Amino acid sequence: MKLEIITTPSGAELTSIKFQGKEYLHQGENVLDKEGKVYWKRRAPILFPIVGSLKNNATTIQGKRYEMSQHGFARDMKFDIINISEREHTYMLRYNEETLKMYPFKFELYVSYLVDNDKLTVKYIVKNLDDKSMFFGIGGHPAFAIDLRENKYRFEFDKIEENERFYQLDNGLISYKDNYINKSLLSNNKCINLQKDTFTHDAIIMSDLESQKVRLIENERIKLEFDFTGFKYLAFWSKKNAPFVCIEPWYTTADYTDSDQIFENKKDNIKLEIGEQFECEYSIRFEE
């Protein structure tokens, strides 16, 4: 097969994406800087049941306070293996005593990786097993191996963007400040040129996009095409001079700076009724 993947039950995370023998996924703890420090230990974490940070890392659900770290707990939990084959890897996380201490809802989260020639589809299914409505956020966070020190990469949207919206982070929370820095990044209403200091001010977060796809281009050659159809937000993130860039499709974002910290009121939270399930997916097509 042209496309081969490796995953792990730890966080149900992708650990390798090889297309025609070349590694496309950032290799996490194995990639060190000149001082021998890890740039970023993760590779493609799953963001659930929140995306980004809660205000003061806490929220109130049904009158009780719960604490949860950035991007939620799924990325640090061990998933059950449902199926591992050449073309499909599927995992499941079911609520347990540990999750209920952070998030008082009974759920099942399924994560599937589907390989088809030059295309990888990542699918999420959330099931509400509780006797009440549940609320959550979800998103992806895959990191692709590139060298930001070389000014030869750009993101290119598949449509002209004239009504896009940018969001600015203030200590990890969404700010209402006018994000003039990010607005200047979009050239010709279509491209974001990547440079070593592009992410000095943290992630680039966008919504209200006409596009459903974005391409990562290296020296005029398409490296991959990322389809985020259905997701409200698209974020890009890396660290200064780091050898990777993340493409992140999100349904929700971090709390706003003026959040009342009541989870049911969290902007864009998905509400799932008793017995219902939620599905979403993104896909990556790799170019020869």
Contacts of 113 (CB under 8 A, 6+ apart): 5, 7, 14, 88, 89, 90, 120, 121, 122, 123
Task: Evaluate whether 67 touches 58 at the Cβ level (below 8 Å).
Answer: yes
What is the rounded CA–CA span in Å between residue 47 and residue 102? 15
- Predicted confidence at residue 184, as pLDDT, reads 72
pLDDT tens, position by position, 13-58: 999 999 999 999 999 999 999 899 999 999 999 999 999 999 999 9
pLDDT of residue 186: 87
At 150, is the pLDDT very low, low, confident or very high (cuts 50, 70, 90)?
A: confident
pLDDT in the model for residue 234 = 98
Half-sphere exposure of 240 (CA within 13 A, CB side): 4
Q: Which residues pair with 156 in a beta bridge?
A: 191, 215
Q: Who contacts 222 (Cβ-Cβ below 8 Å, separation ≥6)?
A: 215, 216, 287
Portion of the chain with pLDDT greater than 70, in percent: 98
- Round the average pLDDT of the chain to a whole number and report it: 95
- Per-residue pLDDT at 144: 98
pLDDT of residue 196: 81
- pTM for the whole thing? 0.96
Residue pLDDT, tens place only, 152-187: 999 999 999 999 999 989 999 999 775 555 667 888
The pairing of strands 233-237 and 244-250 is: antiparallel
Q: Any idea what DSSP says for residue 190? A: T
Residue 65 has pLDDT above 90, yes or no: yes
